Amino acid sequence: MAYPGYGGGFGNFGNPLGQPGYPGHPAYPGSISTGDPMWKCFLAIAGQDGEVDAEELQKCLTQSGISGTYSPFSLETCRIMIAMLDRDYSGKMGFNEFKELWAALNSWKQNFITVDKDGSGSVEHHELNQAIAAMGYRLSPQTVTTIVKRYSKNGRIFFDDYVACCVKLRALTDFFRRRDHLQQGVVSFVYDDFLQGTMAV
């Protein structure tokens, strides 16, 4: 049964349908190839522990200019991006998680550019609605309005806030879907389970 939040794309950004990168399902199995062009980028920002924390990710994204400016990328957005992919609950990202995040970021960036038709560097209510639909989510107008109120500044959503929105949509939909065994859009939560799933992002 199809219902809001279970669109065809499901925010997978290249993952095969049915394998959305849930915890416990690494997107890049096997050994790390030092010939991978992303490996050098990862080594350049990873700490001595061989992983990337939120501050290191923030520095990387700020210097990359992925948001369209070189203003500091939101640290809170970096934290929730790590939480989305933190399958071992270390609070950091290994190489495979970093690579998966970079692929998602590039897809979100392309989607952002596509709907930002006036080139303002931000998206407005109607543009966000188009972006969410393009990712395969089917949300009610009331839900989209709630998202806009949460992430916009004077009615405009800039890229780092847009990314935060995409991360939460993906993470919370994954969390819900894993518990919706009958795919009816209705689940029962134990309070503690609900808090674990929502407070992480």
Report the pLDDT averaged over residues 135-158: 93
Percent of the chain with pLDDT over 70: 83
Domain ranges in the chain are 37-199
Superfamily of domain 37-199: EF-hand (1.10.238.10)
| Residue 58 clears pLDDT 90, i.e. is over it | yes
| Residue 18 clears pLDDT 50, i.e. is over it | no
Report the pLDDT averaged over residues 41-48: 87
- What pLDDT does 41 receive? 86
Query: Looking at 60-64, 120-124, 161-165, which range is the least confident one?
Result: 60-64
- What pLDDT does 4 receive? 45
CA atoms within 13 A on the CB side of 4: 10
How far is it, in rounded angstroms, from Cα 162 to Cα 112? Answer: 8
How far is it, in rounded angstroms, from Cα 98 to Cα 161? Answer: 19
- By C-alpha distance, which of 6, 13, 9 is closest to 163? 13
- What pLDDT does 3 receive? 41
pLDDT band at 23 (very low <50, low <70, confident <90, very high): very low
